[in-house]
Amino acid sequence: MTVLVIAEHDNASIKGATLNTVTAAAACASGDVHVLVAGHNAAEAAKAAAHIAGVAKVLHAEGEQFAHGLAENVAAQVLAIAGDYSHILFPATAGGKNVAPRVAAKLDVAQISDITKVDAADTFERPIYAGNAIAIVQSADKVKVLTVRTTAFDPAATSGGSAAVETANAVAANAKSRFVGQEIAQNDRPELTAAKIIVSGGRALGSSEKFQEVMTPLADKLGAAIGASRAAVDAGYAPNDLQVGQTGKIVAPQLYIAAGISGAIQHLAGMKDSKVIVAINKDPEAPIFSVADYGLEADLFQAVPELVKAL
Amino acid sequence: MKVLVPVKRVVDYNVKVRVKSDNTGVDIANVKMSMNPFDEIAVEEAVRLKEKGIATEVIAVSCGVQQCQETLRTAMAIGADRAILVQTDEELQPLAVAKLLNALVAKEQPGLVILGKQAIDDDANQTGQMLAALADLPQATFASKVEVADGKAQVTREVDGGLETLSIDLPAVVTTDLRLNEPRYVTLPNIMKAKKKPLDTVTPADLGVDVAPRLKTLKVTEPPKRSAGVKVPDVATLVQKLKTEAKVI
């Protein structure tokens, strides 16, 4: 039983989420792990994929239609090669979630989202109800289409592999969908989902200026990524892509510092697998204290600058 | 053009669910149920398209037990014109729902189908994409802005790292993200009016769809509990504990 991983990449390099997905793929079956790199001028990404430990073969589909990862085009490419595989895995990123269900529906199989554990080749664990319950599900379908919660699996090593890169016949573009443009937030911090330390701010910050003024020095000092609660994002204090929670990013860093975040169920769903959680909040009743390893009952406008100084 | 809006009846987002002691599922007996929050955003967007004169009719659809009628009445109170309930007591999984919706798309021929990006109970995030695949329509998921003109929809999507804009030909499938809009409150007069709007009931068999579940849930368990933490009196103690006890900085 051979397993296929759909790589997340930016054409020049492989994104971290792919590495965790390779680890999950190796747990699914005893067979080889193949990686599909569908991209535009993506030879470098394919080469990088070939070096991932545990990868037996890289399939490289080249074409302008894959430049922006449009779901219609990527799904068609996956379907063109799907016949040989028992499992098809995508990272549970915005890209993977967009494409995987299209592939599953065309194969007439159920898709299993956001798996956190592989119990057997056909049995997987996944969180439901914002992480308040874990479902163990068994699939009777001949092909298992899965998306992988990347924080639940260790990343595979980026070196040590020596897979052959094979060219896959590129499937033509679907004309019904076109890429127009993008606005990618400029950010030289560690990527939120891969960061070892995350400092996260909530509504209590009060404004986007205050958010920057208070959270940035702390993040700089710790080399941390910045996150935010939905309340802070909705209020415009932080950009959308920083949102941590059920409907935003799911993170599991070594250290998560929540400042001025009350700890709604939906936020906890995105961060409660962090190794150490620190809560800074002036409300002693805030639910965040029930999951925090270390709680500091204090005004964040005093405590956070003090913390920066003490580090 | 017609707009089709699938809505799901789910446990209210404020309810903290409990796993049943026999581990067969979560206990949803006597728990407050509501419309999935992402679906409210979808209905709101459809109604706004109608108010702009772009949509001619907004049809709300729900698949599931008889009580889903309440969810459909809510959609009609927001402004949907009529509703269809695909009634079944079977457990419905996303693939089955996508097939039911595909059958309705074939029948109603909407110009746009707007769904929520995910339901907050199964957290699957699949149905919209599956429907688009089955109906062979282009998709724009996780939408934070939708503009319809000249037989196309220009959709801004929330992706990792920022925003992306696509142009897709209609008919198409769009799934909503949180920031697409702020759903309106339903007013009492509109709730009363919604009671008079038409609600048709069909069954999966009427639509010729086999809804048998493909996935078997073997067990539902509590997530691992975090051990109780401590409160620290000041920043100095916090830093000291993080350095020597937790060893994370």
Least confident of A127-131, A189-193, B39-43: A189-193
Which structural domains are found in chain A, ordered by start?
Answer: 3-168 (3.40.50.620), 192-310 (3.40.50.1220)
> B173 CB contacts (<8 Å, ≥6 apart)?
B112, B113, B115, B128, B129, B131, B132, B135, B137, B138, B139, B140
Q: Is A95 annotated as a binding residue?
A: no
Interface test with B, best of A70, A102, A214, A250 (most B CBs within 10 A): A102
Sequence length of chain B is 249
Interface test with A, best of B235, B240, B245 (most A CBs within 10 A): B235
Dihedral sign of CA atoms A190, A193, A195, A201 in order: positive
Q: Chain B within 8 Å of A144 (Cβ-Cβ)?
A: no
Q: Which of B121, B162, B214 is nearest residue A109 as measured by Cβ atoms?
A: B214
Q: Do the Cβ atoms of B214 and A141 come within 8 Å?
A: yes
The C-alpha of B192 sits at a distance from chain A's nearest C-alpha, in angstroms, of: 32
Which residues of chain A neighbour B17 with C-beta distances below 8 Å? 129, 132-133
Q: Is A203 annotated as a binding residue?
A: yes
- What pLDDT was estimated at residue A188? 79
Q: Is A14 annotated as a binding residue?
A: no
Please identify which residue in the block is written with the tokens 């109170």: B77
- What pLDDT was estimated at residue A186? 74
CB A11 within 8 A of CB A67: yes
Q: Per-residue pLDDT tens for A142-188?
A: 999 999 999 999 999 999 999 999 999 999 999 999 999 999 877 77
Q: Is A177 annotated as a binding residue?
A: no
> A133 CB contacts (<8 Å, ≥6 apart)?
A127, B17, B19, B26, B220, B221, B222, B223
Write down the ipTM of this complex: 0.94
Please give the structure tokens belonging to residue B93.
Answer: 């999984």
Q: Is A245 annotated as a binding residue?
A: yes
Across B95-107, average pLDDT: 98
Q: How many CB atoms lie within 10 A of CB A190?
A: 17
CA distance B207 to B189: 34
**Percentage of chain B exceeding pLDDT 90:** 94
Q: Is A263 annotated as a binding residue?
A: yes
Q: Chain A within 8 Å of B214 (Cβ-Cβ)?
A: yes
What are the φ and ψ backbone dihedral angles of A262, each rounded to 5 degrees?
Answer: -70, -35
Q: Do the Cβ atoms of A132 and B16 come within 8 Å?
A: yes
- What pLDDT was estimated at residue A185? 78
> A141 CB contacts (<8 Å, ≥6 apart)?
A107, A109, A110, B214
Q: Do the Cβ atoms of B17 and A133 come within 8 Å?
A: yes
Q: Chain B within 8 Å of A131 (Cβ-Cβ)?
A: yes
Q: If contacts are CB pairs under 8 Å, which of residues 27-56 in chain B contact chain A?
A: 38
Which residues of chain B neighbour A70 with C-beta distances below 8 Å? 166
Q: What is the CA radius of gyration of chain A?
A: 21
Q: Per-residue pLDDT tens for A252-303?
A: 999 999 999 999 999 999 999 999 999 999 999 999 999 999 999 999 999 9
Q: What is the mean pLDDT of chain A?
A: 96
Amino acid identity of residue B163, one-letter, is L
Q: Do the Cβ atoms of B117 and A94 come within 8 Å?
A: no
DSSP state of A174: P
Interface test with A, best of B105, B154, B159 (most A CBs within 10 A): B159
E strand map for B80-214 = 82-87, 112-116, 139-149, 152-159, 162-169, 172-176, 199-202
The C-alpha of B72 sits at a distance from chain A's nearest C-alpha, in angstroms, of: 22
Q: If contacts are CB pairs under 8 Å, which of residues 115-154 in chain B contact chain A?
A: 117-118, 120-134, 137-142, 144, 154
The C-alpha of B189 sits at a distance from chain A's nearest C-alpha, in angstroms, of: 30
Which residues of chain B neighbour A114 with C-beta distances below 8 Å? 123
Q: For the whole model, what pTM was predicted?
A: 0.95
The C-alpha of A62 sits at a distance from chain B's nearest C-alpha, in angstroms, of: 21
| Residue among A68, A59, A53 nearest A19 (CA) | A53
Q: What is the mean pLDDT of chain B?
A: 96
Q: Do the Cβ atoms of B218 and A138 come within 8 Å?
A: yes
Across B126-141, average pLDDT: 98
Q: Per-residue pLDDT tens for A13-69?
A: 999 999 999 999 999 988 999 999 999 999 999 999 999 999 999 999 999 999 999
Query: Does residue B228 have a pLDDT over 80?
Result: no
- What pLDDT was estimated at residue B95? 98
Q: Per-residue pLDDT tens for B26-53?
A: 999 999 999 999 999 999 999 999 999 9
- What pLDDT was estimated at residue A46? 97
Q: How many helices (H) and strands (E) does chain A have?
A: 8, 16
